[in-house]
Chains A and B, each alone.
Chain A
Amino acid sequence: MFKMSEYSFVAGTIAVGLALACYVLAFIAVRIARARTGLVAAGVGGETVVVNGSGMAGLAAYGSLITSLALAFLTMSLMFRTIASGHGPFVNMYEFAIAFAWGVVAVYVYFEHRYHQRMLSVLVLPVALGLLIYATMQPADIEPLVPALQNNLLLTIHVAVAIIAYGTFAIAFASAVLYLIQPDGGIPGLPKPEVLDSIAHRAVVIGFPFLTLTIVFGALWANIAWGSYWSWDPKETASLVTWLLFGSYLHARVVRGWRGRRAAWLLVIGFAAAIFTFFGNLFFGGLHSYATGGGN
């Protein structure tokens, strides 16, 4: 099981990389084709350029297919590891990173299916790939669980909802970046700003309740394991910061002067806070650094 989990993880990582490559190539090709037709339209080239978009569309379709494969591999990796270790992926950074990457890819697949904006992949998949590469650098051994982490349904739910929340925030982040790089009227060939705004909002509408649940389940668990639902532990606090930032985004959307660009910036900052929360253990100690947790 452990080996199978490792193989699936490697296959998933490669698939994410391949999918990203397909998407990027497809978009570069489309841009070049567009630039050429632009020239033709302006009468510069003098020759007729036949823009064959179908090959490019094919490439992007491969991207979608391989992304789905990547999701399947990562799902298998997490499942096999859960079976092998007997607990959810919540013990070390290796498990967290794969789970986080899984969330990013899964939510991306859902949004691609729903909104057909494959351009988002160019920003979303690097996040997943980065996490997976980070995971390859972490020790993958299955470690014995300190008592605080044992038999914990709450903890499994806590991590599961966190993964979904983080995945949606990656989508919101990608939409916000694509939004911010465009001038007011939009750039032809890129998703329309209104569409991006609406996708980002959809993502937060899904993600914000999940982040809220993450914090509530985390507090419930802390209350049982540590006798206190909130201890201003740095990781807790960082998740509160993330929550406040996405909460402020929801309000900014109804404040004049904050819609659009400023709201998009809040999404970028909010995602940065989510990443910081995730890697927080590396910057600060605290109760969440499990390596030293437990009995003493």
Chain B
Amino acid sequence: MKRATEPIDDLDVGLQIPISDIFDRIWRLFVSMRTGLALILGLAVLSLIGTLLVQAPPEVKADPTAYATWLDSIAPKYGGWTRIFDSAGFFSMFSSVWFRGVTVLLVTSIVACSIRRAPLLWRRAVHPRIAMGDSFFANAPLTTVFGANSNPEATLEAVRRVLRRRHLRVSVDSSGGDIHVHADRFRWGPWGTIAAHLSIISILVGAVIGATWGYRDNSLAVAVGNAPVAVGGGTGLTVAARSFSATYYPGGSTPSDYSSVLAVYRNGREVASQTVRVNQPLQVGDVAFHQAYFGGAVAMRVQDAAGKVLFDEAVPLLLASTDGKESVGRFSLPEVGATVYVVEAASGVVDPSIRAGQAKVEVYNPGSDQPAATSVVSQGQSAPVAGLMFTFVRERQFAGLMVARDPGAPLVWGGAVLLVLGIVLVFYFPHRRIWVRLRRDEMHTTEVRLASAQRRDAGFAAHFARIADDIKAAVKAAHTP
């Protein structure tokens, strides 16, 4: 609410920068709390819009035809607004020019505020203003005045003792006629705002670094038993799944746990190996391997008429047929220019044409959308399809991994820690300051005035009153020698 706000030091007198040129104007704009407030609220509004409107997945956004289809699919929901929201970029709010623009302005404003504030906070902490004028003592929100029976020097000693006992730092200025005392505690508390503000920048910079130089693969399927698969993003790593296991809750299809044993190689040498489950990723340097999903795989061997092995790997069944009744895997045979689909009945589905323990093989020639030949093969058996010999070696499983490398993460986590510490510092260690003025009166006794200008610290008034009582009691006990 409105409280008396006498200027205590430079922090409170406002800006005294001449607005002579454009730079000063811009500077003033960015250091203004009003601007800062508008920017924070602006970011809140944009985020809210981004929460309320469905957001296009990034991979859809990257593909114009997929995006057009996606827009059609949401058009019934937003009607005529679809086009407007789309041209405003609201369906990818968090990468939109609005969101990025406001974020950049906010960062600028935070930097400006911190640059302006840091030297002032430094001065306040290191060279506080000790001698305050009469009007300050008359108008401060917290004041008290009483007489002491001793001279100012003796009173000072009593005051000093009380303040010290209350863990306040005491600075004295007796250069004028009066003795002025400045006592404070937690003078580094306000630096929490600087920490909190810089932490936001650290987090945002970390996020930008992660988005720019990081790498992410949300679906890397690694079938058990296969040779190591290359991890992208210039990591130079390969990964293999040694085993996989899943357990289910009784009577249901809800997995209670699933895990795979992964081995990671660099230049063919194993560098790490671990059991990976959903909450237990494998970390290799700055690359993390997360267990994300899983499914069945079919170990398949293909030989040509001469018996030469063209393919011998487990094929993860990553795809589902449109009716959801079949799980489908795919691989290609470059030597004969064919693409092969391996189809099994989805788990829990009874399909008389592909029974449990069987897989259907479909061979497609390039440019054709009809299979050249198909055949159902049972586990452990072989069947000729399109002039090739297909062997269904055995059922396997695959581990679906999410691989992420985020070079910005340390800045993000460091920033998060700094943010929390900064906020705690500001709120729980507020800079508490008290001024005392000791003025000799005609009787060679002393008029003691206490004042404080605490504004946003509700608990301080009571604290101030206790200190005032202590000082009163102490100066009563003190006598002029």
Chain A contacts to B: CB under 8 angstroms: 144-148, 150-152, 193-194, 197-198, 201-202, 205, 208-209, 212-213, 216, 219, 223-230, 232, 234, 237-238, 240-241, 244-245, 247-248, 251-255, 258-260, 273, 280, 284, 294-296
* Number of residues on chain B facing chain A (CB within 8 A): 50
Which residues 320-343 of B have a CB within 8 angstroms of A? none
Between A and B, 7 residue pairs with Cβ closer than 8 Å are A150-B257, A205-B427, A212-B423, A226-B290, A227-B292, A232-B55, A253-B456
Task: Count contacts between A and B, CB distance < 8 Å.
Answer: 123
Residues in B with CB closer than 8 Å to A194 are: 1
Distance from A23 Cβ to chain B, minimum over Cβ atoms (Å): 24
Asked if residues A251 and B420 are in contact (CB atoms below 8 Å), the reply is no
Asked if residues A251 and B456 are in contact (CB atoms below 8 Å), the reply is no
Q: How far is the CA of A258 from the CA of B35 in the complex (A)?
A: 12
Q: How far is the CA of A248 from the CA of B2 in the complex (A)?
A: 19
Residue of B1, B246, B402, B412 contacting most chain A CB atoms (<10 Å)? B1
- Whether, in the assembled complex, B254 has its beta carbon less than 8 Å from a beta carbon of chain A, the answer is yes
Q: How far is the CA of A193 from the CA of B1 in the complex (A)?
A: 8
Residues in A with CB closer than 8 Å to B419 are: 212, 216
Asked if residues A227 and B47 are in contact (CB atoms below 8 Å), the reply is no
- Measured CB to CB, the nearest residue on chain A to B257 is A147
Q: How far is the CA of A50 from the CA of B103 in the complex (A)?
A: 63
Which residues 1-16 of B have a CB within 8 angstroms of A? 1-2
Partner of B47, one of A205, A229, A237, A296: A237
Q: How far is the CA of A202 from the CA of B257 in the complex (A)?
A: 44
Partner of B40, one of A244, A254, A294: A244
- Whether, in the assembled complex, B269 has its beta carbon less than 8 Å from a beta carbon of chain A, the answer is no
Instruction: Select the stretch in B177-185, B274-282, B305-313, B365-373 that faces chain A.
Output: B274-282
- Measured CB to CB, the nearest residue on chain A to B95 is A232
Q: How far is the CA of A223 from the CA of B47 in the complex (A)?
A: 21
Known pairs A228-B216, A229-B412, A251-B36; A147 contacts B51 (CB<8 A):
no
- Measured CB to CB, the nearest residue on chain B to A270 is B44
Residues in A with CB closer than 8 Å to B278 are: 147-148, 150, 225, 294
Q: How far is the CA of A294 from the CA of B427 in the complex (A)?
A: 39
- Whether, in the assembled complex, B354 has its beta carbon less than 8 Å from a beta carbon of chain A, the answer is no
- Whether, in the assembled complex, B98 has its beta carbon less than 8 Å from a beta carbon of chain A, the answer is no
Partner of A151, one of B37, B44, B279: B279
Asked if residues A212 and B420 are in contact (CB atoms below 8 Å), the reply is yes
Asked if residues A144 and B256 are in contact (CB atoms below 8 Å), the reply is yes
- Measured CB to CB, the nearest residue on chain A to B254 is A144
Q: How far is the CA of A279 from the CA of B278 in the complex (A)?
A: 26
Q: How far is the CA of A145 from the CA of B247 in the complex (A)?
A: 12
Residues in B with CB closer than 8 Å to A280 are: 51
Asked if residues A255 and B34 are in contact (CB atoms below 8 Å), the reply is yes
Asked if residues B44 and A245 are in contact (CB atoms below 8 Å), the reply is yes
- Measured CB to CB, the nearest residue on chain B to A151 is B279
Asked if residues B51 and A241 are in contact (CB atoms below 8 Å), the reply is yes
- Measured CB to CB, the nearest residue on chain B to A219 is B416
Distance from B399 Cβ to chain A, minimum over Cβ atoms (Å): 12
A-contact 0/1 string along B270-293, CB 8 Å cutoff: 000000011111000000101011
Partner of B41, one of A202, A212, A213, A248: A248
Q: How far is the CA of A146 from the CA of B427 in the complex (A)?
A: 39
Asked if residues B37 and A248 are in contact (CB atoms below 8 Å), the reply is yes
Known pairs A147-B257, A150-B257, A240-B47; A216 contacts B37 (CB<8 A):
no
A-contact 0/1 string along B439-468, CB 8 Å cutoff: 000000000000000001010000000000
Partner of A216, one of B33, B94, B216, B420: B420
Partner of A146, one of B44, B50, B51, B255: B255
Q: How far is the CA of A248 from the CA of B35 in the complex (A)?
A: 11
Asked if residues A251 and B33 are in contact (CB atoms below 8 Å), the reply is yes
